[in-house]
A and B are shown apart, each in its own frame.
Chain A
Amino acid sequence: MIKIEFKSKTPIYKQLRKQIIEGIASGDLQPGESMPSVRQMAEDIGINLHTVNKTYQILKNQGYLISHRRKKVVVNSREKMIDPDYKRQLEKKLRPIIAESICQGVEQKEFKNIVSNLYDEIQKEDQ
Protein backbone atom coordinates (compact mmCIF):
# COMPACT_ATOMS: atom_id res chain seq x y z
CA MET A 1 0.00 0.00 0.00
CA ILE A 2 1.28 3.41 -0.93
CA LYS A 3 0.23 6.39 1.12
CA ILE A 4 0.66 9.92 -0.22
CA GLU A 5 -0.07 13.03 1.81
CA PHE A 6 -0.84 15.90 -0.51
CA LYS A 7 -0.66 18.47 2.26
CA SER A 8 2.76 17.37 3.48
CA LYS A 9 5.82 19.57 2.98
CA THR A 10 7.70 16.58 1.61
CA PRO A 11 7.41 16.60 -2.20
CA ILE A 12 5.25 13.85 -3.63
CA TYR A 13 8.08 12.21 -5.58
CA LYS A 14 10.05 11.82 -2.37
CA GLN A 15 7.05 10.40 -0.51
CA LEU A 16 6.47 7.95 -3.32
CA ARG A 17 10.13 6.89 -3.26
CA LYS A 18 9.99 6.21 0.48
CA GLN A 19 6.73 4.29 0.16
CA ILE A 20 8.01 2.08 -2.63
CA ILE A 21 11.21 1.32 -0.69
CA GLU A 22 9.10 0.45 2.34
CA GLY A 23 7.00 -1.82 0.13
CA ILE A 24 10.15 -3.62 -0.97
CA ALA A 25 11.44 -3.83 2.60
CA SER A 26 8.19 -5.27 3.90
CA GLY A 27 7.92 -7.81 1.10
CA ASP A 28 4.77 -6.31 -0.37
CA LEU A 29 6.86 -5.76 -3.48
CA GLN A 30 8.87 -8.87 -4.23
CA PRO A 31 12.10 -8.93 -6.25
CA GLY A 32 11.31 -9.50 -9.90
CA GLU A 33 7.74 -8.28 -9.47
CA SER A 34 6.59 -5.74 -12.04
CA MET A 35 5.64 -2.28 -10.84
CA PRO A 36 2.43 -0.62 -12.00
CA SER A 37 3.11 1.33 -15.18
CA VAL A 38 3.90 5.02 -14.77
CA ARG A 39 0.49 5.91 -16.21
CA GLN A 40 -1.41 3.42 -14.05
CA MET A 41 0.34 4.58 -10.89
CA ALA A 42 -0.19 8.27 -11.74
CA GLU A 43 -3.88 7.71 -12.49
CA ASP A 44 -4.51 5.68 -9.34
CA ILE A 45 -2.82 8.23 -7.10
CA GLY A 46 -4.17 11.15 -9.12
CA ILE A 47 -0.86 12.92 -9.75
CA ASN A 48 1.14 14.05 -12.74
CA LEU A 49 2.84 11.35 -14.83
CA HIS A 50 6.15 13.20 -14.61
CA THR A 51 6.14 12.88 -10.84
CA VAL A 52 5.86 9.10 -10.99
CA ASN A 53 8.39 8.98 -13.78
CA LYS A 54 10.84 10.98 -11.71
CA THR A 55 10.45 8.64 -8.74
CA TYR A 56 10.92 5.54 -10.90
CA GLN A 57 13.99 7.12 -12.47
CA ILE A 58 15.53 7.87 -9.07
CA LEU A 59 14.78 4.37 -7.82
CA LYS A 60 16.31 2.89 -10.95
CA ASN A 61 19.45 4.96 -10.49
CA GLN A 62 19.66 3.78 -6.89
CA GLY A 63 19.24 0.16 -7.92
CA TYR A 64 15.86 -0.53 -6.28
CA LEU A 65 14.07 -0.86 -9.58
CA ILE A 66 15.28 -1.99 -12.96
CA SER A 67 13.97 -1.58 -16.47
CA HIS A 68 12.97 -4.90 -17.85
CA ARG A 69 12.39 -5.28 -21.57
CA ARG A 70 10.99 -2.24 -23.27
CA LYS A 71 8.99 -0.20 -20.76
CA LYS A 72 8.33 -2.63 -17.94
CA VAL A 73 9.81 -1.68 -14.60
CA VAL A 74 10.46 -4.43 -12.07
CA VAL A 75 11.77 -4.66 -8.52
CA ASN A 76 15.47 -5.44 -8.54
CA SER A 77 16.93 -8.44 -6.74
CA ARG A 78 18.02 -7.79 -3.17
CA GLU A 79 21.72 -8.36 -3.85
CA LYS A 80 21.76 -5.84 -6.66
CA MET A 81 20.10 -3.18 -4.51
CA ILE A 82 22.99 -3.17 -2.10
CA ASP A 83 25.15 -0.11 -2.23
CA PRO A 84 28.60 -0.80 -0.66
CA ASP A 85 28.74 2.77 0.52
CA TYR A 86 25.37 2.64 2.28
CA LYS A 87 26.56 2.01 5.84
CA ARG A 88 28.69 5.11 5.77
CA GLN A 89 25.72 7.12 4.50
CA LEU A 90 23.54 5.63 7.21
CA GLU A 91 25.90 6.82 9.91
CA LYS A 92 25.91 10.26 8.38
CA LYS A 93 22.13 10.37 8.28
CA LEU A 94 21.68 9.00 11.78
CA ARG A 95 24.17 11.26 13.50
CA PRO A 96 22.03 14.44 13.57
CA ILE A 97 18.95 12.39 14.47
CA ILE A 98 20.75 10.85 17.45
CA ALA A 99 22.09 14.23 18.48
CA GLU A 100 18.60 15.64 18.36
CA SER A 101 17.24 12.70 20.34
CA ILE A 102 19.85 13.22 23.06
CA CYS A 103 18.81 16.87 23.33
CA GLN A 104 15.20 15.77 23.52
CA GLY A 105 16.01 13.46 26.41
CA VAL A 106 15.63 10.15 24.59
CA GLU A 107 17.73 7.58 26.43
CA GLN A 108 20.00 5.27 24.49
CA LYS A 109 17.95 2.24 25.51
CA GLU A 110 14.74 3.94 24.47
CA PHE A 111 16.25 4.96 21.17
CA LYS A 112 17.31 1.39 20.47
CA ASN A 113 13.84 0.20 21.38
CA ILE A 114 12.21 2.58 18.94
CA VAL A 115 14.57 1.50 16.18
CA SER A 116 14.02 -2.18 16.84
CA ASN A 117 10.23 -1.77 16.97
CA LEU A 118 10.16 0.14 13.70
CA TYR A 119 12.47 -2.44 12.15
CA ASP A 120 10.09 -5.24 13.11
CA GLU A 121 7.06 -3.28 12.03
CA ILE A 122 8.41 -2.73 8.53
CA GLN A 123 9.95 -6.13 8.05
CA LYS A 124 7.07 -8.54 8.50
CA GLU A 125 9.36 -11.51 9.12
CA ASP A 126 6.84 -14.35 9.00
CA GLN A 127 6.16 -14.84 5.34
Chain B
Amino acid sequence: MFSELILPIIILIVMAVLGGLAPLVQPKNLLFGVRIPQKLLKTAVPSHFKRKFIKTYLSIDLVWLIIGIFIIFKFGSGPYIYTILVQILIMFGNYAFWNKKVKNWKEEKLQQQPGLASQNTARVVDTQFRKEKLTIHNFWYFIPGVLLFFQLAINLYYYLTVSEQMVRKEQIVSLIISSIFIFVIMLWQHYVIRNAKQQVSARNPQKSRQQNILFRRRWSKFLFIILTLLIIGNLVMNLSYLDIIDLDAQISENVYMIVPLLALIGSVILAIVTGQSGSRIDLNKNEEESEYDDVDDDSHWKLGIFYYNPADPSFLVEKRIGVGWTLNFANPKSYIFIIAIIAILIITSTV
Protein backbone atom coordinates (compact mmCIF):
# COMPACT_ATOMS: atom_id res chain seq x y z
CA MET B 1 0.00 0.00 0.00
CA PHE B 2 2.63 2.46 1.11
CA SER B 3 5.07 1.67 -1.70
CA GLU B 4 2.56 2.40 -4.44
CA LEU B 5 2.15 5.89 -3.02
CA ILE B 6 5.84 6.67 -3.13
CA LEU B 7 6.03 7.03 -6.90
CA PRO B 8 3.15 9.54 -7.23
CA ILE B 9 4.63 11.58 -4.39
CA ILE B 10 8.10 11.58 -5.93
CA ILE B 11 6.68 12.51 -9.33
CA LEU B 12 4.84 15.41 -7.72
CA ILE B 13 7.99 16.59 -5.94
CA VAL B 14 10.14 16.32 -9.06
CA MET B 15 7.52 18.20 -11.09
CA ALA B 16 7.64 20.92 -8.45
CA VAL B 17 11.44 21.08 -8.76
CA LEU B 18 11.18 21.30 -12.56
CA GLY B 19 8.82 24.26 -12.21
CA GLY B 20 11.41 26.11 -10.16
CA LEU B 21 14.26 25.58 -12.60
CA ALA B 22 13.16 28.25 -15.09
CA PRO B 23 15.52 31.01 -13.90
CA LEU B 24 18.43 28.58 -13.93
CA VAL B 25 18.09 27.19 -17.43
CA GLN B 26 17.23 30.29 -19.44
CA PRO B 27 19.65 31.70 -22.02
CA LYS B 28 21.42 34.91 -21.04
CA ASN B 29 19.37 37.29 -23.18
CA LEU B 30 16.03 35.85 -22.12
CA LEU B 31 14.45 36.65 -18.79
CA PHE B 32 11.27 34.66 -18.20
CA GLY B 33 10.57 34.64 -21.90
CA VAL B 34 11.33 38.32 -22.46
CA ARG B 35 14.15 39.33 -24.77
CA ILE B 36 16.57 41.67 -23.02
CA PRO B 37 18.68 43.96 -25.25
CA GLN B 38 22.45 43.72 -24.69
CA LYS B 39 22.82 47.26 -23.42
CA LEU B 40 19.99 46.91 -20.96
CA LEU B 41 21.48 43.67 -19.73
CA LYS B 42 24.82 45.38 -19.15
CA THR B 43 23.53 48.36 -17.20
CA ALA B 44 20.78 46.88 -15.06
CA VAL B 45 21.32 43.32 -13.96
CA PRO B 46 17.85 42.17 -13.04
CA SER B 47 18.97 39.40 -10.71
CA HIS B 48 16.34 40.29 -8.16
CA PHE B 49 13.71 38.94 -10.54
CA LYS B 50 15.21 35.49 -10.27
CA ARG B 51 15.25 35.60 -6.49
CA LYS B 52 11.69 36.86 -6.32
CA PHE B 53 10.56 34.23 -8.81
CA ILE B 54 11.91 31.46 -6.62
CA LYS B 55 10.45 33.07 -3.51
CA THR B 56 6.89 33.35 -4.83
CA TYR B 57 7.08 29.94 -6.44
CA LEU B 58 8.35 28.25 -3.30
CA SER B 59 5.82 29.89 -1.02
CA ILE B 60 2.87 28.85 -3.19
CA ASP B 61 4.20 25.52 -4.27
CA LEU B 62 5.28 24.27 -0.85
CA VAL B 63 1.72 24.74 0.38
CA TRP B 64 0.44 22.86 -2.63
CA LEU B 65 3.02 20.08 -2.16
CA ILE B 66 1.85 19.51 1.39
CA ILE B 67 -1.81 19.48 0.30
CA GLY B 68 -1.00 17.26 -2.69
CA ILE B 69 0.92 14.72 -0.61
CA PHE B 70 -1.90 14.73 1.94
CA ILE B 71 -4.44 14.05 -0.84
CA ILE B 72 -2.37 11.17 -2.19
CA PHE B 73 -2.04 9.64 1.30
CA LYS B 74 -5.69 10.08 2.07
CA PHE B 75 -7.25 8.99 -1.21
CA GLY B 76 -4.56 6.71 -2.64
CA SER B 77 -2.83 7.11 -5.97
CA GLY B 78 -6.13 7.59 -7.84
CA PRO B 79 -6.36 11.40 -7.78
CA TYR B 80 -2.64 11.89 -8.23
CA ILE B 81 -3.04 12.90 -11.89
CA TYR B 82 -5.10 15.86 -10.66
CA THR B 83 -2.44 16.86 -8.14
CA ILE B 84 0.01 16.94 -11.06
CA LEU B 85 -2.41 19.04 -13.10
CA VAL B 86 -2.69 21.60 -10.32
CA GLN B 87 1.09 21.56 -10.03
CA ILE B 88 1.41 22.38 -13.75
CA LEU B 89 -1.15 25.18 -13.40
CA ILE B 90 0.82 26.71 -10.53
CA MET B 91 4.00 26.47 -12.60
CA PHE B 92 2.40 28.13 -15.65
CA GLY B 93 0.73 30.75 -13.50
CA ASN B 94 4.07 31.68 -12.01
CA TYR B 95 5.70 31.80 -15.45
CA ALA B 96 2.94 34.06 -16.80
CA PHE B 97 3.12 36.33 -13.76
CA TRP B 98 6.88 36.87 -14.00
CA ASN B 99 6.76 37.15 -17.76
CA LYS B 100 4.36 40.06 -17.37
CA LYS B 101 6.47 41.65 -14.62
CA VAL B 102 9.65 41.54 -16.67
CA LYS B 103 7.84 42.80 -19.77
CA ASN B 104 6.62 45.83 -17.84
CA TRP B 105 10.05 46.38 -16.34
CA LYS B 106 11.69 46.27 -19.77
CA GLU B 107 9.15 48.65 -21.24
CA GLU B 108 9.62 51.11 -18.38
CA LYS B 109 13.42 50.98 -18.57
CA LEU B 110 13.42 51.54 -22.32
CA GLN B 111 11.06 54.45 -21.97
CA GLN B 112 13.34 56.07 -19.40
CA GLN B 113 16.46 55.38 -21.43
CA PRO B 114 15.63 54.78 -25.09
CA GLY B 115 19.35 54.46 -25.80
CA LEU B 116 19.35 51.06 -24.16
CA ALA B 117 17.10 49.53 -26.82
CA SER B 118 18.60 47.22 -29.42
CA GLN B 119 20.17 49.15 -32.27
CA ASN B 120 20.45 46.33 -34.77
CA THR B 121 18.38 43.21 -34.59
CA ALA B 122 18.68 40.21 -36.83
CA ARG B 123 17.62 36.64 -37.21
CA VAL B 124 20.55 34.35 -37.92
CA VAL B 125 20.17 30.98 -39.59
CA ASP B 126 22.85 28.45 -40.40
CA THR B 127 22.46 26.73 -43.77
CA GLN B 128 24.57 23.82 -42.51
CA PHE B 129 22.49 23.23 -39.37
CA ARG B 130 20.33 20.45 -40.81
CA LYS B 131 23.39 18.64 -42.10
CA GLU B 132 24.67 18.23 -38.54
CA LYS B 133 23.85 15.21 -36.45
CA LEU B 134 21.01 16.64 -34.37
CA THR B 135 19.64 13.32 -33.16
CA ILE B 136 20.82 9.77 -32.77
CA HIS B 137 20.82 7.77 -35.98
CA ASN B 138 17.53 6.27 -37.16
CA PHE B 139 19.19 2.87 -36.95
CA TRP B 140 18.90 2.87 -33.14
CA TYR B 141 15.13 2.68 -33.37
CA PHE B 142 15.47 -0.87 -34.63
CA ILE B 143 16.19 -1.97 -31.07
CA PRO B 144 12.91 -0.85 -29.46
CA GLY B 145 11.16 -1.65 -32.75
CA VAL B 146 12.30 -5.25 -32.64
CA LEU B 147 11.43 -5.52 -28.95
CA LEU B 148 7.95 -4.20 -29.65
CA PHE B 149 7.53 -6.56 -32.58
CA PHE B 150 8.67 -9.44 -30.39
CA GLN B 151 6.13 -8.49 -27.72
CA LEU B 152 3.31 -8.38 -30.27
CA ALA B 153 4.39 -11.63 -31.93
CA ILE B 154 4.74 -13.67 -28.76
CA ASN B 155 1.35 -12.52 -27.47
CA LEU B 156 -0.26 -13.34 -30.77
CA TYR B 157 1.40 -16.74 -30.77
CA TYR B 158 0.17 -17.52 -27.27
CA TYR B 159 -3.27 -16.22 -28.11
CA LEU B 160 -3.54 -18.48 -31.13
CA THR B 161 -2.11 -21.61 -29.47
CA VAL B 162 -2.82 -21.59 -25.74
CA SER B 163 -5.44 -18.87 -25.46
CA GLU B 164 -7.27 -20.56 -22.59
CA GLN B 165 -4.12 -20.50 -20.48
CA MET B 166 -3.73 -16.73 -20.78
CA VAL B 167 -5.19 -15.61 -17.51
CA ARG B 168 -4.22 -11.97 -17.50
CA LYS B 169 -5.49 -10.89 -20.88
CA GLU B 170 -6.61 -7.45 -19.76
CA GLN B 171 -3.27 -6.55 -18.25
CA ILE B 172 -1.50 -7.85 -21.32
CA VAL B 173 -3.62 -5.71 -23.62
CA SER B 174 -2.87 -2.63 -21.57
CA LEU B 175 0.85 -3.47 -21.64
CA ILE B 176 0.75 -3.78 -25.42
CA ILE B 177 -1.06 -0.45 -25.79
CA SER B 178 1.44 1.12 -23.43
CA SER B 179 4.40 -0.18 -25.47
CA ILE B 180 2.95 1.01 -28.76
CA PHE B 181 2.24 4.37 -27.19
CA ILE B 182 5.82 4.67 -25.91
CA PHE B 183 7.18 3.74 -29.35
CA VAL B 184 5.03 6.41 -31.00
CA ILE B 185 6.26 9.00 -28.48
CA MET B 186 9.80 7.91 -29.28
CA LEU B 187 9.37 8.54 -33.00
CA TRP B 188 7.60 11.81 -32.27
CA GLN B 189 10.36 13.21 -30.03
CA HIS B 190 12.89 12.21 -32.67
CA TYR B 191 10.89 14.14 -35.26
CA VAL B 192 10.56 17.16 -32.97
CA ILE B 193 14.25 17.36 -32.13
CA ARG B 194 15.24 16.97 -35.77
CA ASN B 195 12.77 19.47 -37.21
CA ALA B 196 12.23 22.17 -34.59
CA LYS B 197 13.19 25.66 -35.67
CA GLN B 198 16.89 26.28 -35.18
CA GLN B 199 17.98 28.65 -32.43
CA VAL B 200 21.08 30.53 -33.43
CA SER B 201 21.59 33.76 -31.53
CA ALA B 202 22.53 36.85 -33.53
CA ARG B 203 24.71 37.83 -30.59
CA ASN B 204 27.04 34.84 -30.72
CA PRO B 205 26.14 32.76 -33.77
CA GLN B 206 29.01 30.27 -33.72
CA LYS B 207 28.74 29.47 -30.03
CA SER B 208 24.95 29.30 -29.81
CA ARG B 209 24.81 27.15 -32.92
CA GLN B 210 27.17 24.63 -31.35
CA GLN B 211 25.24 24.73 -28.07
CA ASN B 212 21.95 24.18 -29.86
CA ILE B 213 23.32 21.13 -31.67
CA LEU B 214 24.65 19.62 -28.44
CA PHE B 215 21.38 20.40 -26.64
CA ARG B 216 19.44 18.44 -29.24
CA ARG B 217 21.86 15.53 -29.31
CA ARG B 218 21.82 15.12 -25.54
CA TRP B 219 18.04 15.12 -25.26
CA SER B 220 17.78 12.77 -28.20
CA LYS B 221 20.09 10.26 -26.49
CA PHE B 222 18.47 10.66 -23.09
CA LEU B 223 14.91 10.22 -24.35
CA PHE B 224 15.92 7.21 -26.43
CA ILE B 225 17.45 5.47 -23.42
CA ILE B 226 14.51 6.20 -21.11
CA LEU B 227 11.85 5.16 -23.61
CA THR B 228 13.73 2.00 -24.54
CA LEU B 229 13.98 1.09 -20.86
CA LEU B 230 10.21 1.57 -20.54
CA ILE B 231 9.61 -0.76 -23.49
CA ILE B 232 11.97 -3.35 -21.98
CA GLY B 233 10.13 -3.05 -18.65
CA ASN B 234 6.79 -3.66 -20.38
CA LEU B 235 8.19 -6.64 -22.25
CA VAL B 236 9.59 -8.25 -19.11
CA MET B 237 6.30 -7.72 -17.32
CA ASN B 238 4.43 -9.14 -20.31
CA LEU B 239 6.64 -12.24 -20.37
CA SER B 240 5.98 -12.84 -16.70
CA TYR B 241 2.22 -12.60 -17.34
CA LEU B 242 2.63 -15.33 -19.93
CA ASP B 243 4.55 -17.37 -17.34
CA ILE B 244 7.53 -17.49 -19.67
CA ILE B 245 9.76 -15.99 -17.04
CA ASP B 246 9.30 -16.13 -13.32
CA LEU B 247 9.45 -12.65 -11.89
CA ASP B 248 9.57 -11.87 -8.23
CA ALA B 249 6.67 -9.51 -7.48
CA GLN B 250 9.02 -7.35 -5.43
CA ILE B 251 11.51 -7.02 -8.28
CA SER B 252 8.90 -6.10 -10.87
CA GLU B 253 7.48 -3.47 -8.56
CA ASN B 254 10.93 -2.00 -8.06
CA VAL B 255 11.62 -1.95 -11.79
CA TYR B 256 8.36 -0.13 -12.32
CA MET B 257 9.44 2.55 -9.87
CA ILE B 258 13.03 2.90 -10.96
CA VAL B 259 12.55 3.77 -14.64
CA PRO B 260 10.11 6.68 -14.17
CA LEU B 261 12.29 7.91 -11.31
CA LEU B 262 15.36 7.73 -13.52
CA ALA B 263 13.47 9.63 -16.22
CA LEU B 264 12.39 12.43 -13.89
CA ILE B 265 15.62 12.88 -11.97
CA GLY B 266 17.64 12.46 -15.16
CA SER B 267 15.67 15.18 -16.89
CA VAL B 268 16.20 17.57 -13.97
CA ILE B 269 19.94 16.95 -14.09
CA LEU B 270 20.10 17.21 -17.90
CA ALA B 271 18.06 20.43 -17.81
CA ILE B 272 20.44 22.00 -15.28
CA VAL B 273 23.64 20.84 -16.95
CA THR B 274 22.58 21.69 -20.51
CA GLY B 275 20.15 24.59 -20.11
CA GLN B 276 17.48 25.54 -22.60
CA SER B 277 18.88 25.59 -26.15
CA GLY B 278 22.19 24.42 -24.65
CA SER B 279 22.78 27.78 -23.00
CA ARG B 280 24.58 26.25 -20.03
CA ILE B 281 27.02 24.17 -22.04
CA ASP B 282 30.50 25.59 -21.61
CA LEU B 283 32.31 25.33 -24.92
CA ASN B 284 35.61 26.87 -23.81
CA LYS B 285 35.24 29.03 -26.85
CA ASN B 286 35.09 32.75 -26.45
CA GLU B 287 33.34 34.32 -29.33
CA GLU B 288 33.32 38.06 -29.59
CA GLU B 289 29.77 39.23 -29.16
CA SER B 290 28.35 40.90 -32.23
CA GLU B 291 26.56 44.22 -32.16
CA TYR B 292 23.38 42.46 -33.19
CA ASP B 293 20.55 41.53 -30.87
CA ASP B 294 18.04 38.81 -31.55
CA VAL B 295 14.78 39.98 -33.05
CA ASP B 296 12.33 41.05 -30.35
CA ASP B 297 9.46 38.60 -30.77
CA ASP B 298 8.03 38.94 -27.24
CA SER B 299 4.60 39.90 -28.56
CA HIS B 300 4.20 36.50 -30.22
CA TRP B 301 4.72 34.70 -26.92
CA LYS B 302 1.38 34.87 -25.15
CA LEU B 303 1.96 34.80 -21.37
CA GLY B 304 5.51 33.82 -22.28
CA ILE B 305 4.23 30.28 -22.73
CA PHE B 306 2.22 29.98 -25.95
CA TYR B 307 3.81 30.86 -29.27
CA TYR B 308 1.32 32.34 -31.70
CA ASN B 309 2.86 33.83 -34.82
CA PRO B 310 0.84 33.61 -38.05
CA ALA B 311 3.75 35.11 -40.03
CA ASP B 312 6.04 32.24 -39.04
CA PRO B 313 5.50 29.04 -41.05
CA SER B 314 7.33 26.93 -38.45
CA PHE B 315 5.41 24.34 -36.46
CA LEU B 316 7.81 23.25 -33.72
CA VAL B 317 9.86 25.77 -31.77
CA GLU B 318 12.00 25.81 -28.63
CA LYS B 319 10.20 27.01 -25.52
CA ARG B 320 10.82 30.46 -24.11
CA ILE B 321 10.49 29.53 -20.44
CA GLY B 322 11.65 26.18 -19.12
CA VAL B 323 13.24 23.40 -21.14
CA GLY B 324 11.95 21.67 -24.25
CA TRP B 325 9.84 22.36 -27.29
CA THR B 326 6.41 23.76 -28.00
CA LEU B 327 4.12 24.45 -30.96
CA ASN B 328 3.42 27.52 -33.02
CA PHE B 329 -0.29 27.68 -32.25
CA ALA B 330 -0.89 29.82 -35.35
CA ASN B 331 0.12 26.88 -37.54
CA PRO B 332 -2.79 24.66 -38.68
CA LYS B 333 -0.61 21.61 -37.97
CA SER B 334 -0.87 22.45 -34.27
CA TYR B 335 -4.62 21.97 -34.32
CA ILE B 336 -4.29 18.64 -36.08
CA PHE B 337 -1.75 17.68 -33.42
CA ILE B 338 -3.98 18.72 -30.53
CA ILE B 339 -7.00 16.92 -32.00
CA ALA B 340 -4.86 13.81 -32.50
CA ILE B 341 -3.73 13.91 -28.85
CA ILE B 342 -7.29 14.27 -27.59
CA ALA B 343 -8.42 11.42 -29.88
CA ILE B 344 -5.65 9.17 -28.57
CA LEU B 345 -6.57 9.99 -24.96
CA ILE B 346 -10.25 9.21 -25.56
CA ILE B 347 -9.49 5.97 -27.41
CA THR B 348 -7.02 4.69 -24.83
CA SER B 349 -9.25 5.58 -21.92
CA THR B 350 -12.21 3.71 -23.40
CA VAL B 351 -10.24 0.56 -24.30
Nearest-CB residue, chain B, relative to A39? B313
Q: Is the CB of A40 within 8 A of B130?
A: yes
Interface residue count on the A side (C-beta < 8 Å): 24
**Residue on B nearest A37 in the bound complex, by CB:** B130
A-B contact count (CB 8 A): 66
A120 within 8 A of B: no
> In the complex the two chains form, is B129's CB within 8 Å of A44's CB?
yes
Is A110 in contact with chain B by the CB < 8 A criterion? no
Contact residues, B230-258 vs A (CB, 8 A): none
* Interface assignment of A28: CB less than 8 Å from any CB of chain B: yes
**Which residues of B are found within 8 Å of A2, using beta-carbon distances?**
124-127
Minimum distance in angstroms from A74 CB to a CB of chain B: 12
A87-126 near B? 1/0 per residue, CB < 8 Å:
0000000000000000000000000000000000000000
Residues of B contacting A7 in the complex (Cβ-Cβ under 8 angstroms): 121
Q: What interface size band does chain B fall in?
A: 20 to 34
Q: Interface SS of chain A: helix, strand, loop or mixed?
A: mixed
Q: Which of B55-63, B194-202, B274-282 contacts A (4 or more CB under 8 A)?
A: B194-202
8 Å CB contacts to A: which residues of B74-127? 120-127
- Interchain CA distance A48-B202 in the complex, whole Å: 20
Q: Given contacts A4-B125, A5-B122, is CB(A48)–CB(B313) below 8 Å?
A: yes
Contacts of A28 in B (CB 8 A): 127-128
Q: CB-CB < 8 A to A20: which residues of B?
A: 127
Interface status of B315 (Cβ within 8 A of chain A): yes
User: Quick check: is A3 within 8 A (CB to CB) of the other chain?
Assistant: yes
Interface pairs (24), CB distance under 8 Å: A1-B209, A2-B125, A2-B126, A2-B127, A3-B122, A4-B122, A4-B124, A28-B127, A29-B127, A36-B127, A40-B130, A41-B125, A41-B127, A43-B197, A43-B315, A44-B125, A44-B198, A45-B123, A45-B125, A46-B311, A46-B313, A46-B314, A47-B312, A49-B313
Give B residues with C-beta under 8 Å from A.
Answer: 120-130, 197-198, 200, 202, 205, 209, 292, 295, 309, 311-315
Residues of A with Cβ closer than 8 Å to B? 1-7, 20, 23, 28-29, 35-36, 39-49
